[in-house]
Chain A
Amino acid sequence: MEFPIFRPVADHAVLVEFGEDITDDAHAHVLNLDRALSSAPFTGFKEAIPAFVNLLVDFDPLLTDHSTVETALRHLMRLPASEQSQSQHREVLVCYEDLFAKDLAAIAHHTGLSQEAVINAHLAGDYKIYMYGFAPGYAYMAGTPKSIQLARKPSPVRGIEAGSVIIAGAQCLVTTLTMPTGWWVLGRSPTRILTDNPHQPFLFDVGDHITFRRISLAEYEAAKAQ
């Protein structure tokens, strides 16, 4: 198949696909088009939603239509990638104390590493935000080192608290709601992803790079109290 592919969605959107499998190249194309659109939106543009291999572009059908939008997007894709609004680097605090790291022992057991080695491997990862999904503030990151990659648990565990740092395969996520999950719980973060700042309500943008910094229980509590 020749990418990009433009697929019409209902009367009001176009899905622009840059590949079938999750690759850095496909995601880079998603980010470039997303940035180009935000700096030069076409008439009738409503919003764009980036995902792993595609960008959904929603438009107002009273002002434009699918083929006009496709032409506008093809034009944007021919422009040189913008130098501005490059990805940010952000730091997320994480406390690996037993109280929070409910699966640390199990991860150590399954990977054959010591608990300290699991933590060090997690801290060594270079994570990138690929997309948000599931619920407000759920930012899916990839970059979990191979040595601690585990398949999802066979069934979800209920009541995993908001702020949990969880991993599955190459993915990593900081939860914002208390919910059931089949991912492995490695620690807890006091870093607020829903910031309460009206100008930047979510801490990350898709494409941002993330590193984790280890904190003690006392530091966790101090950060939570702020």
Chain B
Amino acid sequence: MVEAVFNIIHAGPLVSVQDLGRPNLMRYGVPRSGPMDQKSFAIANAALGNAANSPCIELSTAGLSLECIKGAVTLAVVGGGFIVEAGDQRLGSWTVLTVKAGQKLTIKPGPWGSWSYLAFAGQLDATPWLGSAATHSQSGQGGGKLVSGGQIVVQSAKILPNCEGTIPCPVWARPRHEIHIVAGPQDRFFDEAAFDALLRQPFRLTDAYDRMGVRLRGPSLIPKAALSIPSEAILRGSIQVSGDGTATVLLADHQTTGGYPKIATIIADDVDGFCQNRPHDEVRFKSILPQAAVELTRRRANAMAVYLSGLERRRQEHK
């Protein structure tokens, strides 16, 4: 077995192992987890020809610095506009390169984006929990958070010269400032003024931003009455409003249930681009009907499929 081993010189907060997450367990209180930006994660694995569910390292703007101490491996850094320093090369994210024993690899925030994905051509050693290596941030179960002083081991490490080089960053992988929402499921608890404010005024992400969710700053969306609804399931993308009118968008590691009303829900595909905004970035919400949301999702999925097949063709041609 060919191994590549890295020492973790520095890992900031919110740097963790993620795969596609744990579906079908929300009924037991387990959030799906998995990548904050699902499309960038998928592209990172596809760039190396990895299986879609291969564990990767999700990087926050806190950055990561590694030193390869054994072996060599080709890796992809995809998502956000991050800076990648490897040996004497200085690159942007959306790149595939090979790192060898004795070389350092540093990934830090660049001009834009909040999340990037580091995928390896090989198998990243990560402990699964409930069938997934994704890290559950509250309990630390799964592959876990990366900590300075720790180690990363990649089994069956491969060198893939045909994959190396930059890969195109599609426009839809950039931060999204116009966010499509579908009203509800508790839109009836809000009056027209609150809805007007939601749709006509800008909101900003705040520093209260982690893998569970992000609090927004913007107009107050006070519900019509002091309401308590029996706890019910929440989804990634729910816009939950607390009693004082503050909106919070729930993200990958959200609690599975809650009793606050949800004025609207972001369509799944826009959550990726929403997450790539940074604190203080501005977003505007655009309400669409459920059927239009389904059609938009299908067009977007089509664009992603076309992009992925282009990536695969390039990989084959370079062989």
* Chain A contacts to B: CB under 8 angstroms: 7-13, 15, 20-22, 46-54, 56, 58, 61-62, 65-67, 131-140, 177, 198, 201-202, 206
B255 touching A7 by the CB < 8 A rule? no
Among B57-65, B170-178, B264-272, which stretch is in contact with chain A? B264-272
Which residues of the partner chain B approach A136 to less than 8 Å between Cβ atoms? 25, 28-30, 130, 136, 139, 141
Question: How far is it, in angstroms, between the C-alpha of A11 and the C-alpha of B293 when the chains are bound?
Answer: 5
Q: Is B257 an interface residue (CB 8 A)?
A: yes
> Looking at chain B, what size class is its interface with the partner chain?
35 or more
- Specify which chain B residues have a CB less than 8 angstroms from the CB of A65 in the assembled complex: 290-291, 294
Cβ-based interface call for B230 (8 A) = yes
Residues 241-263 of B contacting A (Cβ, < 8 Å): 255-258
CA distance A95 to B185 in the complex (A): 42
Q: Are B29 and A67 in contact (CB under 8 A)?
A: no
Q: Which residues of B contact A7 (CB under 8 A)?
A: 184-185
Q: Is the pair A177, B293 in contact by a Cβ cutoff of 8 Å?
A: no
Q: Which residue of A lies closest to B139 (CB)?
A: A177
A21 / chain B contacts, CB cutoff of 8 Å? 230
Which residues does chain B contribute within 8 Å of A134, judged by CB atoms?
29, 255-257
Residues of B with C-beta under 8 A to A13 = 235, 265
Top 10 A-B residue pairs of the complex, sorted by shortest distance between their CB atoms? A133-B257, A11-B293, A49-B233, A56-B233, A132-B29, A8-B290, A10-B265, A52-B230, A51-B232, A7-B185
Whether, in the assembled complex, B26 has its beta carbon less than 8 Å from a beta carbon of chain A, the answer is yes
Is there an interface contact between B29 and A135, defined as CB atoms closer than 8 Å? yes
Residues of the B chain whose Cβ atoms lie less than 8 Å from the Cβ of A206: 27
CB distance A201 to B291 under 8 Å?
no
Name the residue among B27, B229, B291, B293 with the largest chain A CB count within 10 angstroms: B27
Complex alpha-carbon distance, A134 and B235, angstroms: 13
Please determine whether B293 and A10 come into contact, CB atoms closer than 8 angstroms.
yes
A53-B230, A62-B301 known; 10 other A-B pairs, CB under 8 Å?
A: A9-B185, A10-B181, A11-B297, A15-B184, A51-B230, A133-B258, A135-B139, A138-B29, A198-B131, A202-B28
Contacts A133-B29, A133-B257 known; A22 to B138 CB distance under 8 Å? no
Contact A67/B130 with A49-B26, A134-B29 known, Cβ cut-off 8 Å:
no
Q: How far is the CB of A8 from chain B (nearest CB, A)?
A: 4
Decide if A66 touches B291 in the complex (CB within 8 Å).
yes
* Interface status of B237 (Cβ within 8 A of chain A): yes
B291 with A61: CB separation less than 8 A:
no
In whole angstroms, how far apart are the Cα atoms of A12 and B291 in the complex? 10
* CB closest residue in chain A, given B31: A136
In Å, the complex CA distance between A66 and B184 comes to 14
Residues A201 and B230 in contact in the complex (CB < 8 Å), given A11-B296, A62-B298: no
Q: Give the residues in chain A near B185, CB-CB below 8 Å.
A: 7-9, 15
Is B182 part of the binding interface, using a Cβ–Cβ cutoff of 8 Å? yes
B182 touches A11 (CB 8 A): yes
Is there a chain A Cβ closer than 8 Å to B89's Cβ?
A: no
B24, CB-defined interface residue at 8 Å = yes
Closest to A52 in B: B230
Q: Do A51 and B257 touch (CB < 8 A)?
A: yes
**Chain A neighbourhood of B130, CB < 8 A:** 136, 201
Q: Are A10 and B23 in contact (CB under 8 A)?
A: no
Q: Which B131-182 residues sit within 8 Å CB-CB of chain A?
A: 131, 136, 138-139, 141, 181-182
Contacts of B30 in A (CB 8 A): 136
The answer on a CB contact under 8 Å between B294 and A61 is yes
**How far does the alpha carbon of A53 sit from the alpha carbon of B23 in the complex, in Å?**
23
Q: Does B127 contact A (CB under 8 A)?
A: no
**Known interface pairs A10-B265, A138-B29, A206-B27. Does A61 touch B297 (Cβ–Cβ under 8 Å)?**
yes
Known contacts A10-B237, A138-B29; decide if A54 and B232 are in contact (CB<8 Å).
Answer: yes
Which of B28, B139, B293 is within 8 Å of A201, CB to CB? B28
B138 contacts which chain A residues (CB < 8 A)?
135, 177
Q: Which of A49, A61, A140, A198 contacts B27 (CB 8 A)?
A: A49
The residue of chain A having its C-beta at the shortest distance from the C-beta of B264 within the complex is A10
User: What chain B residues lie within 8 Å of A202 (beta carbons)?
Assistant: 28
Closest-by-CB residue of A relative to B229 is A20
- Interchain CA distance A66-B257 in the complex, whole Å: 21
| In the complex, chain A residues whose CB is within 8 Å of the CB of B27 | 47-50, 132, 206
